Structure 1
């Protein structure tokens, strides 16, 4: 049974390392700068500039999050295990009174805390700017957007640690991480679109819905766009996605599965590897 004290000690070290090398500060500033730019210039094509309500801004920020947070999470965690092995420090760490499971979970918690802190700080600054022009309901929706962004980062961090336990060296791990980003962020939806075209649009809405739930980036998109009635019509997927699948409980369960399952695979692999 993993010991909580050991896990927290490892997590604290990972988090302090990210604070010490200014990683959290740099990522938070990047999120803040990009989000403020998108929020201010998001309606330039309509000939207007300025900050608008949070509900409208969320629709503009979704694409930023889908492209940026998975990449940052994968780059943050791809060498968490294989990097220790390649540097020759893994055996030294495992000689201490801790299990492989405690080491893996502790590393994950520390990295997730660093990524979450950067995300909340970056988007929280944007929320503070938009608060005067938003309603309380919009503020709650923006808070949900930030939390779902954190969950998306944690999901891809789980994938990164899973890849790190399978890779033989850092070069292969980085290649796998980049490949995972391309697949989930760029290729996955193109494959679905190709399937729709190949079947002349005969694929059922339920089939497409289940396929979309198999991608954490799409789960995030649905949770923040298609689940918002006012802006469903702005996205083509709204016409083929059954309303029953936009229920928050279904989407949250899918996102939690993407956090837990890759981490469970990583734990099993790390525990049995030499």
Structure 2
């Protein structure tokens, strides 16, 4: 089984490396991280946070948008692309199960996400250490937390991209659906919650329902966990009180559940594909 997964991993990794949209996304990640790190090098004593924590707060907001987008760009044609190229029947003719094929693809794509976020966040960390020296060490745990939670967020959207790819069967349709999923989960979902809060005017929805709906979204769960897990990052973001009003285990549990749920949805969609 492991050898079959590794073979799929090698093939998918080579294909993903030729994805020009991935290259653009990685470059954007590094550039934006660099800009945010330089901006975060301004004096930060007023908010009681070191420079690296200020940078992590900014990177958290950046990652909510870029990491899901990168993951969907990598994975939207994972199955639909194979169907269009006519290679899916060839894959399935080998002694490899559909689950092993998906695991191999997901593993290769996840490695690319790890490389991208490590390059981006690593660049930001170097700038923070350059400007503040050893003081930036206080923000290192927050940076490491941001890296592994970004990988979890990437895994969620990679699996969602594979699900979309299996359901749409054509890369062009999959690309449109992927952008739609990104817009809904990252942009429109929060706008909808904001509108509901305004309409509720401090009623039961705001106090009882809203916190659960907030952590139910993997992108929001990622943001809340990173802001609430570190006092310095929360202070730098200006959202410490709001983030810490939700128990820390809830957003983390939501992320972990989404990793499993999205993988299951991808497997279910792939099982319905006829080569």
**1:270–1:103: structure 2 CA closer, same or farther, 3 Å change rule?**
same
SS at match of 1:155: helix
| Alpha-carbon distance, 1:18 to partner | 3.3
How far apart are the structure 1 equivalents of 2:238 and 2:138?
25
How far apart are the structure 1 equivalents of 2:54 and 2:243?
21
| Alpha-carbon distance, 1:55 to partner | 0.7
How far apart are the structure 1 equivalents of 2:118 and 2:168?
31
Contact 1:209 1:242 in 2 (8 A): no
Contact 2:142 2:230 in 1 (8 A): no
Contact 1:209 1:241 in 2 (8 A): no
Cα deviation code 1:188-208 (max 9, x no counterpart): 011111111121121243422
How far apart are the structure 1 equivalents of 2:37 and 2:238?
22
Tell me what 1:211 maps to.
213
Tell me what 1:229 maps to.
231
The one of 38, 41, 65 equivalent to 1:40 is 38
Tell me what 1:254 maps to.
254
**1:109–1:128: structure 2 CA closer, same or farther, 3 Å change rule?**
same
| Alpha-carbon distance, 1:231 to partner | 4.9
The one of 98, 101, 104 equivalent to 1:100 is 98
How far apart are the structure 2 equivalents of 1:236 and 1:195?
23
SS at match of 1:182: helix
Check if 1:199 corresponds to 2:197: no
Contact 1:78 1:160 in 2 (8 A): yes
How far apart are the structure 2 equivalents of 1:152 and 1:164?
18
Q: Which segments of 5 or more consecutive residues in structure 2 lack a partner in the other structure?
A: 45-49
Contact 1:205 1:241 in 2 (8 A): no
Tell me what 2:156 maps to.
155
Check if 1:136 corresponds to 2:140: no
Contact 2:16 2:74 in 1 (8 A): no
How far apart are the structure 2 equivalents of 1:231 and 1:120?
19
Contact 2:77 2:165 in 1 (8 A): yes
Tell me what 1:187 maps to.
188
- TM-score for the superposition, normalised by structure 2: 0.86
How far apart are the structure 2 equivalents of 1:123 and 1:235?
17
**Paired residues, number:** 265
Tell me what 2:67 maps to.
69
| Alpha-carbon distance, 1:133 to partner | 4.8
Cα deviation code 1:195-249 (max 9, x no counterpart): 11121121243422210111111011101223333454666865556635224xx
Q: How big is the alpha-carbon RMSD for the aligned residues of Structure 1 and Structure 2?
A: 2.6
Cα deviation code 1:86-145 (max 9, x no counterpart): 111111111111111111111111111112112112212322332325343311211111
Contact 1:151 1:255 in 2 (8 A): yes
Contact 2:53 2:139 in 1 (8 A): yes
Q: Which segments of 5 or more consecutive residues in structure 1 lack a partner in the other structure?
A: 47-51
**1:26–1:176: structure 2 CA closer, same or farther, 3 Å change rule?**
closer
SS at match of 2:222: helix
Tell me what 1:49 maps to.
none
Contact 2:38 2:128 in 1 (8 A): no
The one of 85, 88, 93 equivalent to 1:90 is 88
